[in-house]
């Protein structure tokens, strides 16, 4: 199942999970949201960020599985996959990953500056976490993109 149907096992669920996580995160970044008697705040934002990370990992797993299956001739070549791999080259993955890491580091620095403004004393968690959660998510995504770019380039080599 893993090699013959990565689209249904990993790609579609990963896209759904990542999209839901992104939607919830975008809605919660500016301020808490109430739905009836329930208020969604930074705790939900944290879990939305985790959904983005897990969804992205599932998408990567689908790409890795399909690449491996094609390389090992378990599946025929796929023109859509060939086009995708044309864009998912090591260099572009490194650039995107470094940009995400830079954004994450920038967010972390911004969070420390906000803490400095308050004399390195106690902070209001709901404000700071709205900075730190996206920054941390961006750092992790950047590392995932870089590492997966290296792995994808290794998978694309095939055996001689």
Of residues 15, 106, 100, the one with CA closest to residue 56 = 15
Supply the Cα-derived Rg of the chain in whole angstroms.
19
For the entire predicted model, the pTM comes to 0.87
Average pLDDT, the chain: 90
Tokens of 102: 């830079």
Residue 42 has pLDDT above 80, yes or no: yes
- pLDDT for 160: 44
Mean local confidence (pLDDT), 84-111 = 92
Residue 32 has pLDDT above 90, yes or no: yes
Mean local confidence (pLDDT), 68-74 = 82
């Amino acid at each position: 199942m893993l090699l013959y149907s990565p689209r249904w096992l990993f790609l579609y669920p990963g896209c759904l999970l990542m999209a839901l996580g992104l939607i919830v995160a975008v809605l919660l970044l500016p301020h808490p949201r109430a739905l009836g008697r329930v208020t969604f705040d930074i705790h939900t934002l944290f879990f939305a960020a985790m959904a983005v990370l897990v969804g992205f990992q599932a998408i990567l797993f689908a790409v890795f599985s399909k690449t491996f299956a094609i390389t090992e001739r378990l599946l025929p070549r796929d023109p859509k996959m060939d086009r995708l791999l044309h864009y998912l080259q090591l260099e572009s993955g490194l650039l995107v990953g470094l940009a995400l890491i830079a954004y994450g580091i920038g967010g972390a620095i911004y969070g420390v500056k906000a803490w400095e403004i308050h004399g390195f004393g106690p902070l209001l968690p709901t404000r700071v976490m709205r900075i730190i959660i996206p920054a941390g998510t961006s750092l992790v995504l950047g590392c995932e993109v870089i590492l997966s770019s290296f792995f994808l380039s290794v998978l694309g080599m095939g055996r001689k």
